[in-house]
A and B are shown apart, each in its own frame.
Chain A
Amino acid sequence: MPGTAPRPGGRSGAPWLYLAPALVVLGGLLVYPIYQLGLISFLEYTQAQVSGGEPTTFQGFGNYAELFGDGEFWRVLLATVVFAAACVVSTLAVGCALAVLLTRVRAVPRLALMLAALGAWATPAVTGSTVWLLLFDPDFGPVNRMLGLGDHSWTYGRYSAFLLVLLEVVWCSFPFVMVTVYAGIRAVPAEVLEAAALDGASQWRIWRSVLAPMLRPILVVVTIQSVIWDFKVFTQIYVMTNGGGIAGQNLVLNVYAYQKAFASSQYSLGSAIGVVMLLILLAVTLVYLRLLRRQGEEL
């Protein structure tokens, strides 16, 4: 509904009045801390400075130079991007497939799947991570028994540990995609689908040429949300690989920043990593806005 006309009798101050509470809260609790974060990333800032034992000193890009000069940072960055991409793709694939499946079944199986998915969604990240660890425990987990893997340890190998975390992330984040896409499909007029079915189009074709284009705005939203969430994944890695895995092999940026800031008290390095993450996600946003523009949609 583009081009909404100005409200009759609307003073120009009205929108700002409505926005005021949101802006106050966001300004104080989000923008200001982000400003602090940026500032700290340019300082020498360790526990000694925090507790006032030593004065803070300005470092310029020193912290960034240290970060970019560290091979580990690049390794973690690469792992983060690949891992987040894998999570997003898997989550979307599973979520969309199950949403389509939901429209094909009667009430009872649909309710069963919906409830199971809501259960997974409702599970706190810490709890979910713990339960999955227990399921895959080498000594007393049922999964190794069922698959006959003996006491194979899933968290020892770098890739198997990432795989395990990926499974948990998909488990707890596909419900959002499934429910949203399902809601979107239900909003598609039935006649359109029936016409396509009568033309003898296959399921895949119906999805590709009818549903996907109509669902596009929804798909863009769930993709963007998934990217944002999966790129920032923290709890799962922290709990399941015990803070980053054997010799830090399963670190992702967010956990890496946390370890630098809180475990090692190198707040400035941790902040610099936070800023880098923010910039990467900003780049993703710009791509997204571009996409919207090209479709001629407006915000």
Chain B
Amino acid sequence: MKLPVRLAVLFTAMAAATACAPQTSGNSSSGKDEKTGTLRVWLFQEVNNKPKEQVVDAVLADFRKAHADTRVTVEYIPVETRAQRIKAAFNDPASAPDVIEYGNTDTAGYVKDGGLEDVTEEFGAWDEAKDADPTARQSVTVDGKVYGAPYFVGVRALYYRTDVFEELDLEVPRSMDELASTAKKVRAARPDLYGIAVGGAYTYGAMPFIWANGGALATGKSGSYASAIDSAAAQKGIKAYTSLFGDDNCPAAKCAGMGGNDTVTAFASGKAAMAIGGDFSHQAVEAGKAKGKYAVVPLPGVKPGSIAPAFAGGNNIGVLKSTSHRTLAVDLMKRLASKETQGELFDAMGFLPTFTDVRRQAAAKEPFVKPFVDTLAAGTEFVPASPAWAQIDSSLVLPTMFQEVVSGKKDVGAAAGDAARKMNEAFGSAG
């Protein structure tokens, strides 16, 4: 046989083999709906997890009272390895949990992977759901169907050290330009501090700079996104963010590799005069050296006095498609994400509730929350609601872009162009 012929035969054989060869999980619903047995729950492990465990334990105690003959086991999984664990769970229904906590940026991807159960009906019938804020509701919705209940919202704002600002006689920055100049003033006067701690891998801290400058990550809507990260406005934002790296604020050698948690840790341990942190970082900062010497304001926008659009992060609780206890799992989901639980979680962990009324009560109780609520009220942005986002996020497209600029490997235009190309590839393959 001539080579081309042989190849053709080989390919035909392989194409035929694909019909049966590499395995797929057939991850359809189990179809079963048992009313007894063991439910498995995976929640995220937080930096200081004890208070969260206590709230959850109380919920489970009530759940067990309501459903005799059921057991619930809870496992707290580390956030950074979640992707692998949850994918493995999708691939092996036998070891999959029934109920999971998941980040709202993962919603579209998990739905496309066929991992989450559609709970539109139950969510619609749930009387508490009508108070869920629209952004949060959007974060569990894909193509009009609901795939879980919002658990809490996470939004970031500007932490700053009151003592340092007082000592150096500085004003709280009212615009992004002032933010940069204030940071440099701090660094010049106090070389032992970063002016503002920034990280090359801190995507969600960098995005407000892009949005505030009128840029966007992508344009379009479900099904047909195109990257806009290389637009002139977005590039302006990238330039603004990356200009904060350098010996006059946050040395590239240290900061290029930092992620969000690293910058918060730097602030909490007293190594930075400012940082972009979330409401959920409150506890970590309180536990550090900066305790009692800091305040929070919304991150300023381009115009003096404006607020930069923040990323509306947060987590949801969902039911896995492979569950064999659908009714029980949905009930547990509702209990874990109920108004009461969210109120308790706020007291214990500082997580911002997703229900507008509960959030209002929280803000009244705890003035710390005000800048975050203000930020939410000023309008938030979200990542493209595309399954491709999970891939863009996990293949580090944006951190790579920032790091290339920060370390001087590429200029802003080239790095943004490459990132846009990679994003479009992902949109193209995942829709």
Chain A residues proximal to chain B, CB less than 8 Å? 36, 39-40, 42-43, 45-53, 56-58, 60, 138, 151-153, 155-156, 242, 246-249, 259-260, 262-266
B88 CB to closest chain A CB (Å) equals 10
A50 contact set on B, CB distance < 8 A: 24-25, 87, 90-91, 113
Give every chain B residue within 8 A of A151 (Cβ-Cβ). Answer: 254
Contact B391 A246 (CB under 8 A): no
Asked if B115 CB lies within 8 Å of chain A CBs, one says: yes
CB <8 Å contact, A52 and B26 = yes
Interface residues on B, range: 35 or more
Nearest A-chain residue to B404, judged by Cβ: A247
Which B residues touch A248, using CB under 8 A?
396, 400
Main secondary structure of the interface of B (DSSP, over half): helix
Q: Are B24 and A49 in contact (CB under 8 A)?
A: yes
In the assembly, what is the distance between CA of A26 and CA of B96, in Å? 29
Flag if B24 contacts A52 (CB, 8 Å): yes
Chain A CB within 8 A of B219 CB? no
Q: CB of B403 within 8 A of chain A?
A: yes
Q: Given A39-B14, A56-B18, A60-B11, are A47 and B252 also a contact pair (CB < 8 Å)?
A: no
Measured CB to CB, the nearest residue on chain B to A57 is: B18
Q: Is the CB of A259 within 8 A of B395?
A: yes
Contact A52 B395 (CB under 8 A): no
Q: How far is the CA of A49 from the CA of B25 in the complex (A)?
A: 9
Contact A48 B113 (CB under 8 A): yes
A46 to B396, CA, bound (A): 17
Known: A39-B18, A156-B252. 11 other contacts (CB 8 A): A46-B391, A47-B109, A51-B91, A52-B26, A52-B114, A138-B254, A151-B254, A246-B256, A247-B399, A249-B409, A262-B83
A49 to B430, CA, bound (A): 11
Q: List 27 A-B contacts (CB under 8 A).
A: A39-B22, A45-B22, A46-B391, A47-B90, A47-B112, A48-B114, A49-B22, A50-B87, A50-B91, A51-B25, A51-B113, A52-B24, A52-B26, A53-B114, A56-B22, A58-B15, A58-B18, A138-B253, A156-B253, A156-B257, A248-B396, A263-B83, A263-B394, A264-B394, A265-B87, A266-B391, A266-B395
Q: Does B27 contact A (CB under 8 A)?
A: yes
Q: Is the CB of B403 within 8 A of A264?
A: no
Q: Tell whether B429 is near chain A: CB-to-CB under 8 Å.
A: yes
**Distance in Å: Cβ of B392 to nearest Cβ of chain A:** 9
Question: Chain A's nearest CB lies how many Å from the CB of B20?
Answer: 10
- For the complex, give the distance between the alpha carbons of A53 and B115 in Å: 9
B265 at the A/B interface (Cβ < 8 Å)? no
B4-30: contact bitstring with A at CB < 8 Å (1 yes, 0 no)? 000000010011011001101111100
Residue of A nearest to B111 (CB): A53
Q: A247-B404, A247-B409, A265-B394 are in contact. Are A40 and B87 (CB under 8 A)?
A: no
CA distance A269 to B257 in the complex (A): 26
B203 contacts A by Cβ under 8 Å = no
Residue B162 at the chain A interface, CB threshold 8 Å: no
* CB neighbours of B38 from chain A (8 A): none
For the complex, is B45 an interface residue (Cβ under 8 Å from A)?
Answer: no
| A51 engages B90 (CB within 8 Å) | yes
Q: Are B25 and A52 in contact (CB under 8 A)?
A: yes
Residue among A42, A51, A263 with max Cβ neighbours from chain B (10 Å): A51
